[in-house]
Structure 1
Amino acid sequence: MANDEAREAGGSPGATRDESAVSSELRGLSLNTEPSVPALSQPPPSRPISSGVVSVDITAQFMAAAATLGPGELIKDPFFTLFESVGALEIMDPKMDSGCLPAEELEDDTYDFARPLLPEEVVGIIDQLLCLEHYSGGSAPSIVLGTDSCPRPPENNWAQDVALALDARLEFRDAFLHAIELAELRIQPDALQVPWKSMLAAMEGVKKTHKLGKNLPGAFSVKLQRRLASTMPPRPIVQPSFDEACERWLRFCKDGASVIDVLRYADPQSLLKFVLTFQAQKPQPLVFIRTLMQDLIFADNIMLGQMSIRQVMDDDLALLVLPASMLLDPTNDEVEAVQDPRFAVAQHMEEFRQRAFPAYFEVFRTLCQNRSRTRRMLCRAIQEWDKLQIDAEDIDQLVEHAVGGGRSRGGMTSEGPTAADALPLSSWAFLYKLQLMEWVTQLGFELEVYQVDELPGMYWYLSYLAKRRVQHVERIRSFTVRAIQEHQQPRAGRKASTLSTAEHTAYVRSLAFLRATLIDASASWELAEALSCFYSVLQRTGEMPIPDRPFGSEELRYELRMRPFAAGGPSELPPFDIFAAEVKQADRSVAEMLTYAEKAVGAAKKGFEALTKLDEREESFSAFCHDRWVARTKGMQKSAIFAGIAVATAQKAALDEGTQNRSRLTIEVPTPDKCYHEWWVVPKITIKPAAT
């Protein structure tokens, strides 16, 4: 029995006697005079041992810490991201966590990767891989295409067909890798487009031979998916149809070939329109294509693979505010004489470039993002351009002082008040700031940021910004025309001179661009004003009532909507009292407002029609994107025509502010994707039939 107890204690009898003797000797050496505690008959239970894991019970500490928090108090941990928190909520949810296994399911995959495959099985695997790759590029497409059934002629050789199918798929992969490799060169756009066109042709072959493949569901197992570290928790595999994937790959190839045209530089405004129109396509190009466009434009801080940012920005300044100006003459950098005015001009212009580079560079980068992120980034960019405008005013004064008695063309002269009033650099910055503010407002309509009852106010604000842009462009144009006249007029001690060919071309191009900008801004001003009046009429007559909001007010909502524009300066953000008075127009009757809207719509329609007739290079400045730009402009023209029909319908209904005429119209406000242009939400108006 003693031996059994010793064994249960974990030792032999001899070892127990030895340990007892040692213990008695130690007790004799102890300085403690208190009676010793008798030895336990059983040793304490051993703690569980786990490889590399130490378990600690923190229940008490957690409850004590939680007790110190008030109701509704939130704790933010900067190291615990939103992605991780959402992933933690989804863990062990069978609908969201593919790693959640039923008790009867094996964890290891049973698919044999070493087994031989038939050629048609290889075709099926590649096609399934194409489907999965297409889905990873963004959200699932909203259009499901029907399957094209093509019966195979019996005389064809099956083995040869499968060989051609495999060849088409390998050719597609090879062309894709070749396209990525060549894109790093950023030269010779025609050569860079060849692999993209080869991909397009190969994808057509893939689409035609898809029926030859044989599906292998086990080759793409969820058990393999859950072992990947790319998602946490792992997501279920989405299985889109092959037709969806094929159509998306075809569009991917077409967009890839089209984006290469961005390297064909004509002028900065054509480059800007290219990015704008390319990103505005519906559906928007995939992330890979948008990233490729960013890389083509400004990889390694080299614009389009061959130009400096200074060269592009100087071209922009020359086109907008400084045509044929000595301020942009590159020879100024070679002047070393401190007393020479050109030395000071070069120093001040370089200071301006260093200050403007980041903001100008960021405009192109921002426009390459998705639409929601573009609007958010543009809101932040407005503040930077406002600061740049203030700094540019100081540099304008320094440049004018440095020029002194000299003469600098393009709106900077030494005679009369024009020299101090031209301010070309700050005018350039202010024009861009106004354009950014318009884009933010217009993207708000496209992204459905505004409620239906907010449309009158936001369209009025858009018309306000467009009107400011018209006035500012007219001011720039007046200084440009005055510079030409002063150059050709004789002065004291100097005869009248004629412009050189280069100077004449610079002035002509600048005036042509300013004219196109005036037409565009005027048409936007008129159409936005017309829609604001029309929506205000519908609200005043009760056809489109304003919902009750007991926990808010119009002034607070105005402050919220105008928060992105508060950084633009007080002149670009009218007070709420003025805003409300201009939107409601209480001093005008309904008939007067409808008449004004009718005239404004007619002017907008003529303006957009004039834009569609402009030349690609010399008038519209839409080189290499003219077709897309014209299509969008025609969409604006159709919106103006549709708005005219809606106004005419309201006039026919003889609306007034009396209650007896309410609810005579059926009003449908479409979503932006159903409009002719996503920036112009025109309501569909029909007159209700009279009750019998």
Structure 2
Amino acid sequence: MPEDDLAEEASQLTIDGEVSDGGDIGFAAKRLAQEARQTLSFGGASRGIRDVTEEFAAAAKQLQPGQLVKDEYFTLFEAVGALEIMDPKMDSGYVPPGDTLEPDFDVCKGLPAEQVLWIMDELLRLTAVWHDGYPLSQTIFTSLHVDRLLSPDNRAPYQLSYDDTALLVTTTEQRLVHVVLRAYCIALVKSCALVLHTIHSQNFYEEEDFVTHLFGRELLPSTGANDAIKLLDEAVKFLVGAEVDKVMRAALLERLQFARTYVSLLISDSADWNTLAAMERLAETHRLAQPIQEAFSDKVQRQLATSTPPRPMIAISWDEALQRWRAICADIVEADRLTCFDVCQSPYALHRAIWAFAYREPQPNTFTRAYLQAILFAGEQITEGMAFFDLMLADMRDLVLAGDVLADPQSFLVEMPSDPRHKCSRIVETFMDKAFDEYMNLYRMVCQNRCRIRRTFTQSVAIFDSLETEAMRTDAELDSITPGIVLPHEDGPGEVTLNPLTSWVNYYKLQTMAWTIQLGFETDIYLPHELSMMYWYLMVFARRRCKLVQHIGRFLAARRKTFVSSRDARQDDEAAASQQWLAVLHRQADLTALLSSALWQLSELLMTLDILQPPKRDFAQEQLLYDVRMKSYLGIAHDPIPTLEEYKSATQSDQSVEQSCNNINSTVADAKSCLVYMKKTTPEQGKYIGTEAQWKREIKQLETTCVAVAVQTSQLRRVADKHGMLMSTARDQSLKEVIEVSIPVPGSRYHDWWVVPQIRERKM
């Protein structure tokens, strides 16, 4: 309202008799008018507007990494007061001038086939966006036709009209809306309900992975999936005889068939999702659609049960939407393939298959990951003839108890209380019950997003450490009933026993610790100067795992000698297969140790030469920084991790630059020899049945990483030689003036777990 108008309106507040009343009311009106003028002038032309974006950005660049800026006088009250009413970004009820509170599009009116086709495609596009984790409020619920069906005032059979008298649907255009489009909308809504049921039934993280809020709406609870299929069939029957252009009729029928197939696949236990992936005709006929933007509106969000401001509708192209649908279908087909009978027979093959699924490109969305979990964990067994208990027992047998009566399934069928097999099987079964949940998490948690995999495995480290205490007690109890093999100690005098359950838990604890560090590299949580320390610890964990596998292998070889006089060849065959598997595990652990050692040495050399340096922290303490970074591992009771002093003593070296580069190249050469062995491993030996392509691709990535380390080392050597520093001690030299280093981000590396610094000579 203009300033003069407001002042004039304020002056009209006087009433008859104001003069006779002493003029008090007139005085109040004049004062109100004056205050109104002052208020308006405060925000009017007298106050200039200046763009401070560039100044703010320049000031922000002056802040050091990790430095915080805090105004002690900016309180919570002031922060809330900054939310302005009537600001479209803050006020969800704000209605711009000339606009209406609710959309005024009539969803009951008939539409031509071209516009119906566009609405169907738009709903299909928004459904794909919803699968990517965007809320229903800004995707499917923005459809006014869907909103009418889901409105709380509506009831089954969910008509598009609220009138008591039924709408006379007579024209073809009306039937296209009330028969074809209505059936299509109901089918998609029911598909959303089925997808939500699958996601809710498995492990996922609300908001982080998927938005499951319905915003006060119900997804047609009185209509079942089969009812939606019947409506689609009726719509198909109508279209076949409708007076619609032949090409347009075919396009509409293809959309109805897509919706029918989609709902049918969601309610079927054994379905071929390849039938849904054939979308060529959908892509070709989309050009026939005629946009009708009024059929979708973000105003619907004002009527939903949410306090968040309206968010913009997501915009992706039609081709991108089809590509996402193809990816969903391909992921589900792959999930079915990777959980086939042959793969599920081996715990390690199944575990590797789940990792391979999690690392598909692009990364599978929440629904497909929940679908994989449903295949594995929805029933009472992994696959036919393989219960969860059998899977865990097979894991123990393959790793530490091959050919041993303790892990023989027949031992668990013995019912004679005096039989040692009965006693031992009950003890082992009790331990398995305690370790079962955490063991199954090794499979289930890989189906989460990358950050959650790392966080969950970080928590698993402490749990496995506590299970190791229980395993020690169980091993001692088993040894008192059936004493195991005793061998000379590997590192000195004395004797040592296998302690199979302790070794089994310790192996998974070390493997999980290595995964947490490697996933930390992938999620890019380490600063450049921390690469050296984290690769050193990864090397330590891998060497411990390598030594443990050697320890298990010694006892397996000794156990095989006892099978010579046995007539049962099954035990020896089982032990022989386990020996091949342990050899592969040994090479894998050795490869991890060698490659992490090479990258540790390279990163440490760059830090010694002042090329990589930590940010300046005036008040930081080295020990406290170490405690924060290694917090997840400090509570380990069995085989605790090395201290900060041990790490620092390992990094202190008086070698020259040339000697350090030679050591790195030698380590890389040893890593390549491990890859040569792994390339010759068969799927049965390496237990990568079903993931042969992923196995070869990963080996190729690791080979490329080894080459990259050698190339960057040679580059560092060349520059050091050029400036006469090759033979000098690295600790006494600095190359920061002549060398610059960049750390590749995830996605641009040869392998996301292995960060190879990129070394370049500075241009002088």
TM-score bucket of the superposed structures, by smaller chain: 0.7 to 0.9
Aligned to 2:682: 615
Aligned to 1:30: none
Once the 2 structures are TM-superposed, how far is the Cα of residue 305 of structure 1 from its aligned partner?
6.5
Once the 2 structures are TM-superposed, how far is the Cα of residue 178 of structure 1 from its aligned partner?
2.2
Question: Would you say 1:126 and 2:120 are equivalent positions?
Answer: yes
Query: How many angstroms apart in 2 are the aligned matches of 1:526 and 1:392?
Result: 30
Aligned to 1:138: 132
Aligned to 2:615: 547
Aligned to 2:255: 169
AA of the residue aligned to 1:473: V
SS of the residue 1:619 aligns to: helix
Q: Do the aligned partners of 1:562 and 1:573 also contact (CA within 8 Å) in 2? A: no
Match of 1:524 among 579, 587, 592: 592
Where does 1:283-682 land on structure 2 (aligned, <5 Å)? 283-304=362-383, 307-404=386-483, 412-413=484-485, 421-488=497-564, 496-500=565-569, 502-569=570-637, 571-582=639-650, 584-616=651-683, 618-654=684-720, 655=726, 656=728, 657=730, 659=733, 661-682=735-756
Once the 2 structures are TM-superposed, how far is the Cα of residue 485 of structure 1 from its aligned partner?
1.7
Residue range with higher mean Cα deviation, 544-553 or 113-122: 544-553
AA of the residue aligned to 1:175: T
Aligned to 1:244: 320
Question: Can you give the 5+ residue segments of structure 2 that lack an aligned partner in the other structure?
Answer: 1-71, 135-242, 721-725
Deviation >6 Å, runs of 4+: 71-75, 88-92, 414-420
Query: How many angstroms apart in 2 are the aligned matches of 1:169 and 1:568?
Result: 57
Task: Pick closer, same or farther for the CA change 1:114–1:547 going to 2, 3 Å.
Answer: same
Task: Pick closer, same or farther for the CA change 1:72–1:281 going to 2, 3 Å.
Answer: farther
Q: Do the aligned partners of 2:403 and 2:575 also contact (CA within 8 Å) in 1? A: yes
Task: Pick closer, same or farther for the CA change 1:266–1:340 going to 2, 3 Å.
Answer: closer
SS of the residue 1:365 aligns to: helix
Normalising by structure 1, we get a TM-score of: 0.77
Task: Pick closer, same or farther for the CA change 1:623–1:683 going to 2, 3 Å.
Answer: same
Task: Pick closer, same or farther for the CA change 1:349–1:177 going to 2, 3 Å.
Answer: same
Q: Deviations over 1:424-452 (max 9, x none)?
A: 11111110011110110001000110000
Query: How many angstroms apart in 1 are the aligned matches of 2:412 and 2:400?
Result: 21
Query: How many angstroms apart in 1 are the aligned matches of 2:321 and 2:122?
Result: 9
AA of the residue aligned to 1:223: K
Q: Do the aligned partners of 2:248 and 2:288 also contact (CA within 8 Å) in 1? A: yes
SS of the residue 1:673 aligns to: coil
Match of 2:277 among 190, 197, 200: 200
SS of the residue 1:226 aligns to: helix
Query: How many angstroms apart in 2 are the aligned matches of 1:373 and 1:625?
Result: 24
Once the 2 structures are TM-superposed, how far is the Cα of residue 158 of structure 1 from its aligned partner?
9.6
Query: How many angstroms apart in 1 are the aligned matches of 2:703 and 2:488?
Result: 43
Once the 2 structures are TM-superposed, how far is the Cα of residue 336 of structure 1 from its aligned partner?
3.3
Once the 2 structures are TM-superposed, how far is the Cα of residue 72 of structure 1 from its aligned partner?
9.4
Task: Pick closer, same or farther for the CA change 1:178–1:612 going to 2, 3 Å.
Answer: farther
Q: Do the aligned partners of 2:298 and 2:310 also contact (CA within 8 Å) in 1? A: no
Once the 2 structures are TM-superposed, how far is the Cα of residue 568 of structure 1 from its aligned partner?
3.2
Query: How many angstroms apart in 1 are the aligned matches of 2:392 and 2:84?
Result: 49
How many positions carry a matched residue from both structures?
Answer: 567
Query: How many angstroms apart in 1 are the aligned matches of 2:521 and 2:333?
Result: 30
Task: Pick closer, same or farther for the CA change 1:286–1:385 going to 2, 3 Å.
Answer: same
AA of the residue aligned to 1:686: R
Query: How many angstroms apart in 2 are the aligned matches of 1:138 and 1:341?
Result: 55
Once the 2 structures are TM-superposed, how far is the Cα of residue 377 of structure 1 from its aligned partner?
0.9
SS of the residue 1:653 aligns to: helix
Task: Pick closer, same or farther for the CA change 1:423–1:540 going to 2, 3 Å.
Answer: same
Normalising by structure 2, we get a TM-score of: 0.70
Query: How many angstroms apart in 1 are the aligned matches of 2:485 and 2:86?
Result: 74
Query: How many angstroms apart in 2 are the aligned matches of 1:333 and 1:594?
Result: 56
Aligned to 1:79: none
Q: Deviations over 1:443-487 (max 9, x none)?
A: 100011000011111111111111111111111111111110233
Question: Would you say 1:116 and 2:110 are equivalent positions?
Answer: yes
Q: Do the aligned partners of 2:119 and 2:295 also contact (CA within 8 Å) in 1? A: yes
- How much identity, in percent, do the aligned residues show? 29
Query: How many angstroms apart in 1 are the aligned matches of 2:390 and 2:85?
Result: 53
Aligned to 1:144: none
Once the 2 structures are TM-superposed, how far is the Cα of residue 535 of structure 1 from its aligned partner?
0.9
Query: How many angstroms apart in 2 are the aligned matches of 1:111 and 1:380?
Result: 53
Tell which structure's C-alpha radius of gyration is larger: 1
Aligned to 1:26: none
AA of the residue aligned to 1:395: T
Task: Pick closer, same or farther for the CA change 1:267–1:215 going to 2, 3 Å.
Answer: same
Q: Do the aligned partners of 2:605 and 2:660 also contact (CA within 8 Å) in 1? A: yes
Once the 2 structures are TM-superposed, how far is the Cα of residue 233 of structure 1 from its aligned partner?
4.2
